[in-house]
Homo-oligomer: A and B are copies of this chain.
Amino acid sequence: MTEYIAFDSEKALDYVKEIGGFFANDAVLTCYEFGDGNLNLVFRVADEKGHSIILKQALPYARCVGESWPLTLDRARIEAGVLQKHGAVCSDHTVKVLHQNRELAVTILEDLGYLRILRSELNDAKTFPLLGKDVATYLATTAFYFSDFYLEPAQKKALIVEFTNPELCAITEDLFFDDPYRVCERNSYPEELHAEVSKLQSNNALKLAVAKLKARFFSSPQTLLHGDVHTGSIFVDEKTTKLIDPEFGFFGPVGFDLGSFIGNLLLNYVAQNGRINQIPKRRDIHTYLLATIQTTLATFESSFLNLAKQHTQDQSLQSKGYAEHFVQGVLRDAIGYCGTELVRRTIGLAHVADIDGIEEQNKRLNAQTQALFLGQHLILNAHSVDTKEDFYQLLLSALL
């Protein structure tokens, strides 16, 4: 079993048995496929006692589009590799890799089935007190330990080579930074937004700001990113927060992950206007989301600065004020990337259930309009932000 073949439930089960070590020898195992993701097969293998593992297999094409969109199997190697690297420095918030097979593009993972996917929970107006702190801790910790602050220069260069991920990066390069800002058949939005989209697509200041963000996505290998931190990549309960699915991982700008996360919280924020009719309940989730963003920014900043203060290995980067300067750049980047996430999830190829799931067309359109406005506002004003308080005020000025 070393040549690639796409699994069905039976083959997945056979594979797990063949590898062995996950279950008791006499266990009665069941296996079923339940992946609803865009790109992969996902199986759950369980014994009769309820103990279970996840087997994930990459397909040689994008599942959501079909075989017409071929996609490298190498992404399974990248995904497992990022999880192992991130898990080594932040095991609390990284799903655990139990086994990897590069030829078959198979990864076996701990089963997080006891947790829930954050996006669905937020859409049900559920809140999680630790979310901001946990995600920010994950982002700051993984950002620091794979940066120039900490890694030996030669070690970092070798990791940049190992995590070179051209095909998956190309998807982001196209979908985040190109498609929404031009007439493109991959874009998807209702007719009613046409005038707004035309205005956006002829806004030169906006396109210039987006070009700067794209250039830093291309050429700013600050750290090993997750690469796809949206609320569908986060499993949660009251006490636990786990990141999954870093197949878009590569060495890029720290602000990209941070901005993507906050962007998804804001997508949920604007969606709640169309989801919840009762004003107090809506206010509660809005308050929660804003508080979570504040906590995220504060925790990210303090965690990163603490790590930099205590563990920076590079002599020059220990210079007084450098870590603060770095974090300021991350914040600015994050605002911009947050803005591009809002724009591309509203008018680009891949939308979010938060907004698309709003039943009333009119309310859906309002949410889309607000997301589009907010996204542009953030992209255009990122340069004026010096502190996390500025970031938050910029948000408020556009939301209220």
Taking Cβ atoms with an 8 Å cutoff, the residues of A that contact B are 148, 153-154, 156-158, 160-161, 164, 166-167, 169-170, 173, 177-178, 181-182, 204, 207-208, 210-212, 214-215, 218-222, 314-322, 325-326
Question: Given A208-B321, A317-B214, A321-B204, are A153 and B178 neighbors across the interface (CB < 8 Å)?
Answer: no
Collect the chain B residues with CB atoms within 8 Å of residue A321's CB: 204, 208
* 26 A-B pairs in the complex with CB atoms less than 8 angstroms apart: A148-B218, A148-B219, A153-B166, A153-B169, A153-B170, A154-B167, A157-B164, A157-B166, A158-B164, A178-B315, A182-B315, A204-B319, A204-B320, A207-B316, A207-B319, A207-B320, A208-B325, A211-B317, A211-B319, A211-B322, A214-B314, A214-B316, A215-B317, A219-B220, A219-B221, A221-B221
Q: How far is the CB of A311 from chain B (nearest CB, A)?
A: 16
Collect the chain B residues with CB atoms within 8 Å of residue A222's CB: 219
Sort A-B residue pairs by CB-CB distance and give the 7 closest, nearest first. Answer: A154-B166, A211-B319, A207-B319, A211-B322, A148-B218, A214-B316, A211-B316
Task: Give bound CA distance, A169 to B157, whole Å.
Answer: 10
Task: Give bound CA distance, A325 to B211, whole Å.
Answer: 10
Q: How far is the CB of A206 from chain B (nearest CB, A)?
A: 9
CB of A316 within 8 A of CB of B167, answer no
Collect the chain B residues with CB atoms within 8 Å of residue A164's CB: 157-158, 160-161
Q: A148-B219, A207-B316 are in contact. List 18 more A-B contacts (CB 8 A).
A: A148-B215, A153-B170, A154-B167, A157-B164, A157-B169, A160-B160, A161-B161, A178-B316, A181-B316, A207-B319, A208-B319, A208-B325, A210-B319, A211-B316, A211-B318, A214-B314, A214-B316, A214-B317
Task: Give bound CA distance, A204 to B318, whole Å.
Answer: 11
Collect the chain B residues with CB atoms within 8 Å of residue A166's CB: 153-154, 157-158
Q: How far is the CB of A303 from chain B (nearest CB, A)?
A: 19
